[in-house]
Structure 1
């Protein structure tokens, strides 16, 4: 079954995506936000953008902390869900990260939970990063939270089956032409489904090249959600803090 180049526009908008990943750790996500806020010390007047916000779990929590937050995501289904939580200081919009949203409008942009590197053409990742940078005020900061790719590859589980809501999701993983590819097959109500996640297997050095092309200055790199130091061999994450 051929997949379109923009696999993310169909899979992330599918109800099955949310079934498969419904058990993500909300408390871990909130602790990560607390740690980031303690490190970044954003002013109460900070205009904050959650880029690729999904259903808005980070954006909603940050708004509860008192910040004016805008959430963007390509998935119409996710944005429709998130909008039930909107208030005068919390707004959600459907948007493609390759397009500039509001030039120089935000003090802080967050791109969390490996929500980067989805595009088939490598240059589009640079386009997306430049568009993100354009949304920052001069001196504004960007946080990119990405998997530590070598660590993930070293312990890749090639095959597994997960059962959620009575559906058996058969998952295979492989590295293919510079991408981490996860194929998800399942049946529901007599119908066969197949979705593919393709994330570019970006490594530390490639991110540094991207940052240079987007005129971003690297301020810090952390290796986990407790903001421990980044270790290329041991860390779970690559969490980049950048300044425009």
Structure 2
């Protein structure tokens, strides 16, 4: 199945994406993974999928912990970068999450840092979830880490400017037709650029409906990277632990 060029094809494959987000906190991400592993208690033989893995930093960290990890991402440039870290128990593939990768192959699938809800037609998000569920072994688990949409909308910063590597990023945000839209404008060597991030403003109840459609059972939901209980008003994240 081929899909027309969508915003995430161009933006995630762009070098500017990695410049804008290069200061993301790697230590925080590792602590989050440590907390997840403490909670999940995987056996050393467990197989992990890191879905929408980007340049593979979480895959690499899981692999350093001794696990067999497959990182999947739609961005060819990101996967090309990640492949330098491959070894006998770590591999990377270009993959669209709307397609089934390998049926009943993984004990755990991680989908971290709001890497879901990109597709404009609602049913395609359900297709992505069903295809992901198909890759999980019976009794295995899917972990989806998404922003707490309600809190994000309530605190939306409409305009922001960021100066990184001699580039000035002008960022605007708004909610439109069920999506949180983030427009990123900047110039590089006199050339103007504009990219748009569109993430469906999925609320807790909508996720529950998706999970029902994909025959996934909600085992737990946490509200932050310390795995504290989810509070719809205050929590920064919605971290779903789902069982097949």
Residue of structure 1 in register with 2:199 after alignment? 199
- Residues 13-65 of structure 1 show CA distances to partners (whole Å, capped at 9, x for unaligned) of 00000000000000000000000000000110001000000011110000000
Residue of structure 1 in register with 2:155 after alignment? 155
Instruction: After the TM superposition, list the runs of 4 or more consecutive aligned residues in structure 1 that deviate by more than 3 angstroms.
Output: none
**Alignment partner of 1:77: what SS?**
helix
Partners in 1 of 2:48 and 2:137 — Cα distance?
11
Partners in 1 of 2:157 and 2:217 — Cα distance?
35
* Alignment of 1:215 onto 2:215: yes
Check whether the contact 1:112–1:146 (CA below 8 A) recurs between aligned residues: yes
- Residues 120-169 of structure 1 show CA distances to partners (whole Å, capped at 9, x for unaligned) of 10000000000000000111100000000010011110001101110000
Partners in 2 of 1:228 and 1:33 — Cα distance?
14
Matches within 5 A, 1:181-192: 181-192=181-192
Partners in 1 of 2:203 and 2:160 — Cα distance?
25
Check whether the contact 1:5–1:119 (CA below 8 A) recurs between aligned residues: no
Residue of structure 2 in register with 1:234 after alignment? 234
Please report how far the alpha carbon of residue 5 of structure 1 lies from its aligned counterpart in structure 2 after TM superposition: 6.1
Task: List gaps (5 residues or longer) in structure 2.
Answer: none
Partners in 1 of 2:120 and 2:222 — Cα distance?
27
Residue of structure 1 in register with 2:133 after alignment? 133
Partners in 1 of 2:134 and 2:97 — Cα distance?
11
Task: List gaps (5 residues or longer) in structure 1.
Answer: none
Check whether the contact 1:160–1:170 (CA below 8 A) recurs between aligned residues: yes
Residue of structure 2 in register with 1:119 after alignment? 119
- Residues 82-122 of structure 1 show CA distances to partners (whole Å, capped at 9, x for unaligned) of 10000000000000000000000000000000000000100
Residue of structure 2 in register with 1:61 after alignment? 61
Partners in 2 of 1:165 and 1:85 — Cα distance?
26
Please report how far the alpha carbon of residue 192 of structure 1 lies from its aligned counterpart in structure 2 after TM superposition: 0.6
Q: How many residues align?
A: 241
Could you say what the CA RMSD is over the residues aligned between the two structures, in angstroms?
0.7
Partners in 2 of 1:57 and 1:5 — Cα distance?
26
Matches within 5 A, 1:4-19: 6-19=6-19
Task: Output the TM-score relative to the length of structure 1.
Answer: 0.98
Check whether the contact 1:5–1:120 (CA below 8 A) recurs between aligned residues: no
Residue of structure 2 in register with 1:90 after alignment? 90
